[in-house]
């Protein structure tokens, strides 16, 4: 990873997270929720961050948005480099409140998991979208409301002229999530963070929301950071995947490569938990990953996955493995993988 962002000569990176460490300080100790996370997001790309609850996915997205619960949560180290529309680079990890207010919504926006906790129940959805437009772009209230109605139409909400004057509680869960997408897109951000936006929705509405995000991305060229625990959704929407476990990236790869040739034992375990047509036909049982994600206040030494890993050896608890390249554009953090790669190179 370079200290500066890559340019169009390589990959057109709009967001580069480098060695991010976000820790929470309390009387019980230090919770290392995000511990050295690194990834890049290119223009027009969808990057999925996957992992079980407690792996640090949402804290990573909140760190990028500058929405950590302070003073307990803070960024201890690392960079969050965002390139804006003018080509200027901002390190969001060091940005002050005024800079974050300018950037948040205009250059980078977020869709949250539960819209009822994100939308204000006291204001119409039109007023809430219009407020974002007025905050960043100015104009009159009438112009902003007109644009709010156009945004509701863009996210395929029927009868948008009527819905723009309704309150969140008057809409279904799927409609509210579409309002959240319209709100996030109000100022045409370059980067959209979607934090499990389909988790609370039934499968039919979930498919509609994914189709909508794909269409909007094709129209605007925005980049999407999609946070989820659902590998089925990942296979459908992502170009690349980052797998997180206990605050660290354990594997990253292109989506097809990850599903075809998962390398890290944790990724293999996640995929073995997915019911498939072949598995159902053969009446085989799903293979669960034993145990639970460790508490971030009491992480095991060495590889944090070692207590649950069927391949773990003595070296796995002695030191933290490095994230190494196992194939072009495919990395994994595992001593067993490192040994196999080294053996392959020595025979080449």
Write the secondary structure of the chain as one string of H (helix), E (strand) and C (coil). Answer: CCCCCCCCCCCCEEEEEEEEEEEEEECCEEEEEEEEEEEEEECCCEEEEECCCCCCHHHHHHHHHCCCCCCCEEEEEEEEEEECCCCCEEECCCCCHHHHHHHECCCEEEECCCHHHCCCCCCCHHHHHHHHHHHHHCCCHHHHHHHHHHHHHHCCCCCHHHHCCCCHHHCCHHHHHHHHHHHHCCCCCCEEEEECCCCCCCHHHHHHHHHHHHHHHHHHCCEEEEEECCHHHHHHHCCEEEEEECCEEEEEEEHHHHHHCCCCHHHHHHHHCCCCHHHHHHCCCCCCCCCCCCCCCCCCCCCCCHHHCCCCCHHHHHCCCCEEEEECCEEEECHHHHHHHHHHHHHC
Examine residue 71 and state whether it is found in any structural domain, yes or no.
yes
Which CATH number belongs to the domain containing residue 24 in this structure? 3.40.50.300
**Residue 343: per-residue pLDDT:** 62
Domain that holds residue 211: 13-107+189-347
Does 182 fall in a domain? no
Q: Is residue 160 part of a domain?
A: no
Report how far residue 87's alpha carbon sits from residue 63's, in angstroms, rounded to the nearest whole number. Answer: 22
For residue 95, being part of any structural domain is answered with yes
- Walk along the chain (348 residues) and give the pLDDT tens digit of each residue: 334 454 444 679 999 999 999 999 988 888 999 999 999 999 999 999 999 988 999 999 999 999 998 888 999 999 999 998 888 899 999 999 888 988 988 899 999 877 777 889 999 999 999 999 998 888 889 999 999 999 999 999 999 999 999 999 999 888 998 999 999 988 889 999 999 888 777 888 888 889 989 999 999 899 999 999 888 889 999 999 999 999 999 999 999 999 999 999 999 999 988 777 666 677 777 778 888 888 888 889 999 999 999 999 889 999 999 999 999 999 999 998 877 666 665 555
- With respect to residue 304, please indicate whether it lies within any of the assigned structural domains: yes
Q: Is 308 inside any structural domain?
A: yes
Question: Residue 23 falls within a domain, yes or no?
Answer: yes
Number of domains in the chain: 1
Which two tokens mark 43? 């223009």
Instruction: Assess if residue 50 is contained within a domain.
Output: yes
């Amino acid at each position: 990873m370079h200290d500066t962002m890559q340019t169009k000569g390589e990959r057109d990176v709009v967001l580069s997270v480098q060695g991010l460490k976000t820790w929470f300080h309390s009387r019980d100790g230090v919770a290392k929720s995000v511990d050295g996370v690194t990834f890049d997001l290119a223009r027009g790309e969808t990057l999925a961050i996957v992992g079980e609850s407690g792996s640090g996915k949402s804290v990573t997205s909140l760190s990028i948005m500058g929405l950590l619960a302070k003073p307990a949560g803070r960024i201890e180290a690392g960079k969050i480099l965002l390139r804006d529309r003018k080509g200027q680079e901002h390190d969001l990890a060091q940005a002050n409140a005024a800079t974050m207010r300018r950037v948040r919504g205009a250059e980078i926006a977020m869709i949250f998991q539960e819209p009822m906790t994100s939308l204000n129940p006291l204001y119409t959805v039109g007023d809430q979208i219009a407020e974002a437009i007025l905050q960043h772009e100015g104009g009159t209230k009438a112009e902003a409301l007109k644009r709010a109605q156009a945004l509701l139409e863009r996210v395929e909400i029927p009868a948008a002229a009527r819905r723009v004057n309704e309150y969140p509680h008057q809409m279904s869960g799927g409609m509210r999530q579409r309002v959240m997408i319209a709100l996030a897109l109000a100022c045409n951000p370059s980067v959209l963070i979607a934090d499990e936006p389909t988790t609370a929705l039934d499968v039919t509405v979930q498919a509609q929301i994914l189709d909508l995000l794909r269409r909007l991305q094709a129209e605007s060229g925005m980049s999407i950071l999609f946070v989820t625990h659902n590998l089925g959704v990942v296979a459908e929407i992502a170009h690349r995947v980052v797998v997180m476990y206990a605050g660290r990236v354990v594997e990253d790869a292109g989506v097809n490569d990850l599903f075809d040739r998962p390398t890290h034992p944790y990724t293999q375990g996640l995929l073995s938990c997915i019911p498939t047509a072949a598995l159902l036909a053969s009446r085989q049982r799903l293979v669960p990953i034993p145990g639970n994600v460790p508490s971030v206040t009491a992480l095991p030494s060495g590889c944090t996955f070692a207590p649950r890993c069927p391949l773990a050896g003595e070296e796995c608890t002695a030191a933290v493995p490095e994230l190494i390249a196992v194939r072009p554009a495919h990395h994994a953090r595992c001593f067993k993988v490192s040994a196999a790669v080294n053996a392959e190179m020595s025979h080449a």
